[in-house]
Chains A and B, each alone.
Chain A
Amino acid sequence: GEQVEQLPSILRVQEGSSASINCTYENSASNYFPWYKQEPGENPKLIIDIRSNMERKQTQGLIVLLDKKAKRFSLHITDTQPGDSAMYFCAARITGNTGKLIFGLGTTLQVQP
Chain B
Amino acid sequence: DMKVTQMPRYLIKRMGENVLLECGQDMSHETMYWYRQDPGLGLQLIYISYDVDSNSEGDIPKGYRVSRKKREHFSLILDSAKTNQTSVYFCASRQQSQNTLYFGAGTRLSVL
Distance of A79 Cα from B44 Cα, bound (Å): 31
- B43, B44, B50, most chain A CB atoms within 10 A: B43
- Chain B residues with CB under 8 A of A71: none
Instruction: Give the contact-size bracket for chain B.
Output: 20 to 34
Are B50 and A99 in contact (CB-based, < 8 A)? yes
Interface status of B58 (Cβ within 8 A of chain A): yes
- Chain A residues with CB under 8 A of B103: 36, 43-45
Are A43 and B90 in contact (CB-based, < 8 A)? yes
Distance of A100 Cα from B101 Cα, bound (Å): 10
- Chain A residues with CB under 8 A of B50: 98-99
User: Which of A13-21, A53-61, A103-111 interfaces with chain B?
Assistant: A103-111
- A44, A45, A99, A101, most chain B CB atoms within 10 A: A99
State the B residues within 8 Å of A (CB).
4, 31, 33, 40-45, 48, 50, 58, 90, 94, 96, 99-101, 103-106
